[in-house]
Amino acid sequence: MREIVFDTETTGLDNKQDRVIEIGGIELLNQFPTGRSFHVYINPGDRQVHPDALAVHGITDAFLQDKPGFADIVEDLLAFFDGAKWVAHNATFDMGFINAEFARLDRPPVSPDMVIDTLALARRKHPMGPNSLDALCRRYGIDNSHRTKHGALLDSELLAEVYIEMLGGRQAAFGLEQSRNTNSGLRRSAASEELAVSSRPKALPTRLTGEEAERHAALIKRLGEKALWHRYGVPKAEA
């Protein structure tokens, strides 16, 4: 399954008047980062950055003056997200802004069934909270010490780690467990039996190209020494 963990920064809180000024996204394939990312700053036209928003993300009007408008980046955005689930923390906020931008260009909105809200997921998993991104990083031992300001790409990278941990980490993909049977003691679960039957004596060769492996390695390095991806090593390119 392909997912894009993403974040936006905006000029303010009202999606009817305020505009998106930054979008960052990280591609996951079967809950593993591919090394592909999307990042762009966007000129909001005549809408100025509200002082409260500036205090959060530090993106100034002057910085945005020479950046492309949303209409100029929309095709690249849609191409990157094409066919993937949109994963965001407090997705109602981000999708409200994204769909408002699409509406201004007479584009159809993103269907709700293509959106995953990690805040809602966190509230179900940790009902006592807190469930902000910073709080979840602390809960899962993810290093966010370099997050002095909000930034769409950095927050997407942190959220990708949080999201995987909330789903059970890489352990969730293994499907191996033992269950107790009152009649015959310990036995393998159906999941582990199925995996044992289908296991390969030799792993299939990687499909990664050299460029993809390098991008993946660069992403892991950027996430810091405590990033969970270090547990699994850096994939090698196909020979």
Helices (runs of H) and strands (runs of E) counted in the chain: 9, 7
pLDDT in tens, 149-196: 788 999 999 999 999 999 987 544 333 333 323 333 333 333 334 444
> How much is the pTM?
0.71
Q: What is the mean pLDDT of residues 24-44?
A: 96
pLDDT at position 99: 98
- Tell me which CATH code domain 2-171 carries: 3.30.420.10
Segment 63-73 shows an average pLDDT of 98
Query: Would you place residue 208 in the very low, low, confident or very high pLDDT band (cuts 50, 70, 90)?
Result: low
Pairing verdict, β 115-117 and 85-88: parallel
Confidence (pLDDT) at 201: 62
The pLDDT assigned to 204 comes to 64
Rounded to whole angstroms, the Cα distance separating 36 from 205 reads 20
pLDDT recorded at residue 182: 36
Q: At CA 33, angle to CA 27 and CA 34, rounded to 5?
A: 75
d(C-alpha 68, C-alpha 73), whole Å: 7
What 3-state class would DSSP assign to 116?
Answer: strand
pLDDT at residue 219, rounded to an integer: 78
Between 127 and 204, name the one with better pLDDT: 127
C-beta atoms surrounding 59 within 10 Å: 24
- Which of 89, 126, 150, 230 is labelled catalytic? 150
The whole-angstrom distance between residue 239's C-alpha and the CA centroid of its chain comes to 30
**In the chain, what percentage of residues exceed pLDDT 70?**
77
Per DSSP, 214 falls in state H
Q: Is the pLDDT of residue 100 over 70?
A: yes
User: Mean of the pLDDT values across residues 218-238?
Assistant: 68
Taking CA atoms, 89 is separated from 5, 117, 121, 136, 157, in Å, by 9, 6, 9, 11, 12
Known catalytic residue at 39: no
Mean pLDDT for 64-81 is 98
